Amino acid sequence: MKNVYMDYNATTPLHPAVAEGMKEDLSVYANASSMHEAGRRAMARVERARAQVVALVGAAADPERIVFTSGGSESNNTVFATMFHLGRRGGRRGIVTSSIEHPCVLNAAAWLRDEGFPVTFLPVDGDGKIDLDGLRAAVGPDTLLVSVMAANNEIGTIQDMRSIGAIAKAAGAYFHTDATQAVGKVPVDVEEWGADYLTLSCHKIYGPKGVGALYFRKGAPFEPLIRGGHQEHGHRAGTYNNLGILGFGTAASLAREELASYASHVGRLRARLRDGILAAIPKVRVNGHPVEVLPNTLNVSFPGAEGEAILLHLDLSGIRVSTGSACASGSLEPSHVLMATGVGPELAHGSIRFSLGRDSTDEDVDYVLSVLPPAIARLRSMSTVQA
Amino acid sequence: MSDAFAWLYSDVVKDHFMNPKNVFNPDEGFKADAEGLTGNVKCGDQMLFMLKIADDVIVDVRWKTYGCASAIASTSMLSEVVKGMGIKDAYNIKPDDIARRLGGLPDNKIHCSVLGDKALRAAIDDHLAKTGRAGLFRNEGARVICTCLNITDRDIEDAVKAGARDWEGLQERTKIGTVCGGCKTGAEELLHEYVHIFAD
């Protein structure tokens, strides 16, 4: 049976060059904190990877501004924990974020709210964009942090980072962005965005799982989430994850080199898939911003059909996708992102996310376009809900 | 060799999901004697049961559902089970019975996706009402939840349908748990489930 992976926003396979490099680097076992030669050699490799990672998010940025973490969730939590300590010491305490953040930002913000910090979850419009005037109105002299994701994982909508950064700065607040989904898919520049903190994850850019990074501007406060030894200048304790970090470095280099070709490749396939779906299936809704959207992400709602049923029908045909349906989430609520865009529960339950990647092909798109229309027609024919 | 990861649920669920039995088809001219609809699109599952009944025996059945794979499979299985069954026995079918016949379902799926029994009961209630026996089976198969006051799961279901949305609202309508209070945990689970299914 065919195996068509269209869930690259969930995670990516290793880039072949990353896999090759990591196999060779299995021998780099020395503790990078050790003073001896093997340790020094390992540390040199870690530092090279740090430079490769920083180059992906800001050509002019200093590698010292990168702290390696276990992934995006740890990076995001480090920022919110830092804000917790700052707020407790007095001064500003306001947190402004969006209602469509990844759960790790939403839950970290909810934790601060429970600790008594004033937290605002900004609404988004029908395309998933936050309203800049709403942001201007939400920030003030008490605002400590503005945290807005660069691009949404579910619907792919890209926010106006430069304007959001400027508004945060004008209010005297720190600006954090979870750029987990943007990195490697669209140009990311911490200088241009005015970001004080930026979260990256490695496994979304064809690198290994279990490693990520947090960029922080020089002078931005930093409270370690994990205390211990003096690794990462005391910002993040724990023995260096040599293999993960070296894989991250290679993945970051490749992502930077291949960004333009990647974007045009997945962008062309995405347009084909979208147009094919719109032509073959009546009454569908493409979610997310029509233009300011990740080149690989296509989120579509199929009214009358339920998302988990669509997902499992496609799964039985070898097609791997995601859904915003409550049935697949383990909770009773459908996608908080789609609900925030105001599409309503039926379209949220009936949503499917196709996320393409560097290995996606025209044949993959053709195959999905051959399987999906009859699947939707079948589910709609037995549905109590008219499409 | 079969691969345990090739499919999420049992093979029986897979078969009923991909090849469901007794799905309503508008072209075949099925005329139902009674109908029952349960669930809503907001919660992600909705089911319609249509019955042909002769001498209080279900002689034929059709259904439609908006829902996940296990909802489709469980409704299909239920439709097979009730064919030829007396309405009183059919009224007593429990979600667990259907889940067992399907070769098991995850716990979190049993209560949200096996709505078929409730749609079936609604259809049988429709039949009873049409034949001048409204509410005849009201206490059939009901399970006592609050032993102090003899309050059943059916009473909780009715209270939710009448507007109870939380523990206080449920107590206001049923007085449940106002004596020893030992039933609260179980009753709240049911309340949560019924609010999910029946509340708009």
Q: Which of A235, A254, A273 is the last residue of a domain?
A: A254
Q: Where are the beta strands (DSSP E) in B82-176?
A: 144-146, 151-152
Q: Where are the beta strands (DSSP E) in B41-98?
A: 45-54, 57-66
Are A187 and A328 part of one and the same domain? Answer: no
Are A201 and A89 part of one and the same domain? Answer: yes
Residues B63-74 have a mean pLDDT of 92
Is the residue at A173 inside a domain?
Answer: yes
**Residue A294 has what DSSP assignment?**
-
Is the residue at A58 inside a domain?
Answer: yes
Are A195 and A336 part of one and the same domain? Answer: no
Angle at alpha carbon of residue A337, lines to A332 and A339, rounded to 5° = 65
ipTM, interface predicted TM-score of the complex: 0.87
Q: Distance between CA atoms of A203 and A207, rounded to whole angstroms?
A: 5
pTM of the model: 0.92
Q: Which of A224, A254, A284 is the last residue of a domain?
A: A254
| Domain ranges, residue A216 | 16-254
Least confident of A82-86, A193-197, A249-253, A381-385: A381-385
Find the CATH number of the domain harbouring A149: 3.40.640.10
Are A117 and A244 part of one and the same domain? Answer: yes
Is the residue at A386 inside a domain?
Answer: no
Q: Which residue has the tokens 């804000």?
A: A83
Q: Distance between CA atoms of B142 and B150, rounded to whole angstroms?
A: 11
Chain B hits for A312, Cβ within 8 Å: 8, 17, 68-69
Do residues A210 and A243 touch, judged by C-beta distance below 8 A?
no
Q: Distance between CA atoms of A104 and A262, rounded to whole angstroms?
A: 28
The distance of B98 to chain A (nearest Cα, Å) reads 19
How much is the pLDDT for A214? 98
How much is the pLDDT for B1? 42
Q: Which residue of A has its CA nearest to B18?
A: A313
The answer to whether the Cβ–Cβ distance between A384 and B108 falls below 8 Å is no
Per-chain mean pLDDT for chain B: 88
Q: Where are the beta strands (DSSP E) in chain A?
A: 4-5, 66-69, 94-98, 119-122, 143-147, 174-178, 197-201, 212-216, 285-287, 297-301, 319-320, 322-323, 351-355
Number of domains in chain A: 2
Long-range pairs for A24-30 at CB < 8 Å and ≥24 separation? A25/A242, A25/A243, A25/A246, A25/A247, A26/A243, A28/A242, A28/A243, A28/A246, A29/A242, A30/A242
Amino acid at the residue A69: T
Return the sign of the alpha-carbon dihedral for residues A259, A263, A264, A266: positive
Are A277 and A211 part of one and the same domain? Answer: no
Name the pairing type of β-strands B57-66 and B45-54. antiparallel
φ, ψ of residue B37 to 5 degrees: the values are: -125, 135
Are A268 and A169 part of one and the same domain? Answer: no
Is the residue at A387 inside a domain?
Answer: no
Are A240 and A284 part of one and the same domain? Answer: no
Residue-range domains of chain B with CATH: 11-130 (3.90.1010.10), 144-198 (1.10.10.1100)
Which among A328, A330, A385 has the least Cβ separation from residue B66? A385
Q: Which of A254, A269, A291 is the last residue of a domain?
A: A254
Are A358 and A288 part of one and the same domain? Answer: yes
The answer to whether the Cβ–Cβ distance between B41 and A327 falls below 8 Å is no
How much is the pLDDT for B178? 84
Residues in chain A: 387
Are A125 and A247 part of one and the same domain? Answer: yes
Are A214 and A271 part of one and the same domain? Answer: no
Query: For A130-173, how does the pLDDT look when each residue is reduced to its tens digit (9 = 90+)?
Result: 999 999 999 999 999 999 999 999 999 999 999 999 999 999 99
Query: For B102-116, how does the pLDDT look when each residue is reduced to its tens digit (9 = 90+)?
Result: 998 887 777 666 788
A202 is catalytic: no
Q: How far is CA A310 from CA A204, A263, A301, in A?
A: 24, 27, 11
Amino acid at the residue A282: P
**Confidence check: pLDDT of B4 > 80:** no
Buried b (16+ CB within 10 A) or exposed e, B158-195: bbbeeebeeeebbbebbebbeeeeebbeebbebbebbb
Which among A304, A327, A382 has the least Cβ separation from residue B44? A327
Choose the catalytic residue: A166, A286, A327, A339. A327
Comparing CA positions, the residue from A285, A283, A288 lying closest to residue A340 is A288
Is the residue at A325 inside a domain?
Answer: yes
**Confidence check: pLDDT of B40 > 90:** no
Choose the catalytic residue: B68, B112, B146, B148. B112
Q: Distance between CA atoms of B126 and B119, rounded to whole angstroms?
A: 10
Give the best residue of A312, A331, A339 to mutate against chain B (max B CB count within 10 A): A312
Are A237 and A290 part of one and the same domain? Answer: no
**Confidence check: pLDDT of A117 > 60:** yes
Are A228 and A358 part of one and the same domain? Answer: no
Comparing CA positions, the residue from A138, A188, A190, A210 lying closest to residue A167 is A138
Q: Which residue has the tokens 């209080």?
A: B56
φ, ψ of residue A163 to 5 degrees: the values are: -70, -40
